[in-house]
Amino acid sequence: MPTNKNRKKIKWFNDGVEAFVRARPDAPRLYCCPICIRGFDNPNELTFEDVPPQSVGGKPLVLTCPNCNHWSGRLLDTHIRTGCDLHEFAEGKRDTRIKLIHSGDTITAKALLAQGQIQITGLPENSDPKAHRSLFEKLDKVASKGLKSWELSLEFIEFKRHNPWREAVGWLRVAYLYTFAALGYNFIMRPELNIIREQFQRPDDRIAPQAMQSIRSPSTDNGLSFLYSPPELRSIVVRLGVNLFFFPAFVESSKLVDSSTLYERIASYLSLGQKLTISGTHIDLPKRPQFAFDYLPRSIFNHVAAGGTIRVDMGN
């Protein structure tokens, strides 16, 4: 008996094969992994990918190959999670484990940011009791004598390995998979998007930094937008919190501007150092594969026309 999960996998697989064939009528009937563009002829060779990662509340959105799925989990997803932890710590919503070092003693403690100050609480059960006692005695002495010169080092254990660039590439991958689920193969298989996939293959190189931008005011209004202003920056933008991810626009608008040079235009806009306001029509993020540009290319534009307008300020 096939389970619900299996039935869902077979449906997503068949929908993907059909979308791929509609996008590339001469290609073999295969499911094409959106990350590595390799073809698979059996649903069992594919995995459900959580978008965003499960560790930050994501749910299955598309099928990717196990290689791409696990590779991302290992190299990018952990930085997405620690990035969220760091953000919550900075907002005073959670504490974090630290190593506290003072005149030869090292102990484990926890730190919390509250009203611009850092509150430190010792964790005697996680420290050498002698070092714990000695460190706090010395600190008491510092306080009672009002000593002016003393040193205390903090080491943020959980954030030590955090790599903000890999976190950004991880979110770019999330945004790319949202565009794949919403718009399909016709959208992602254009040569203009090779640079994005190359960025995933070489996560430590700065290949497409212009694809990732941030906005001034945080918002919970996540979504996918068809950006139309300024017209030179026509693109598909995925908005996730304060982050915007830019992807070259589809045919309809690439007649007006050359999609392959979008990132160069973004770079030259930003080099002007001015506040940049962008506007576009907005649709909700997909919750399952829809492949709109493969199945019903016109429907997405009706959908977009019915959506609201977004307007955000970019830059620092």
Per CB under 5 A, residues contacting Zn ion are 33, 35-36, 65, 68
Least separation, in Å, of the C-beta of 247 and Zn ion? Answer: 19
Tokens of 252: 């309809």
Contacting residues for 84 by C-beta, under 8 A, at least 6 apart: 56
**Which residue, 67 or 103, has its beta carbon nearer to Zn ion?**
67
Least separation, in Å, of the C-beta of 43 and Zn ion? Answer: 14
Least separation, in Å, of the C-beta of 29 and Zn ion? Answer: 18
Least separation, in Å, of the C-beta of 173 and Zn ion? Answer: 12
Host H or E run for residue 304: helix 297-306
Least separation, in Å, of the C-beta of 3 and Zn ion? Answer: 24
Q: Are 174 and 52 in contact (CB under 8 A)?
A: yes
Residue in 214, 220, 222, 225 with CA at minimum distance from that of residue 276? 214
Q: Hey, is 96 helix, strand or coil?
A: strand
C-alpha dist (Å) from residue 128 to 124, 125, 131, 134: 7, 8, 5, 10
Least separation, in Å, of the C-beta of 10 and Zn ion? Answer: 19
Q: Work out the number of other CB atoms within 10 angstroms of the CB of residue 179.
A: 24
**Which residue, 38 or 288, has its beta carbon nearer to Zn ion?**
38
Tokens of 295: 């199945």
Tokens of 219: 């918002």
Q: Are 27 and 186 in contact (CB under 8 A)?
A: no
Residue in 181, 176, 175 with CA at minimum distance from that of residue 16? 181
**Which residue, 15 or 105, has its beta carbon nearer to Zn ion?**
15
**Which residue, 71 or 301, has its beta carbon nearer to Zn ion?**
71
**Which residue, 35 or 86, has its beta carbon nearer to Zn ion?**
35
**Which residue, 65 or 314, has its beta carbon nearer to Zn ion?**
65
Strands (E), the chain: 31-32, 39-40, 47-51, 59-64, 96-102, 105-114, 117-122, 153-156, 212-214, 223-229, 235-240, 243-248, 276-283, 309-314
Host H or E run for residue 295: helix 292-295
**Which residue, 33 or 109, has its beta carbon nearer to Zn ion?**
33
**Which residue, 35 or 278, has its beta carbon nearer to Zn ion?**
35
**Which residue, 68 or 182, has its beta carbon nearer to Zn ion?**
68
Beta strands 276-283 and 212-214: pairing type? Answer: unpaired
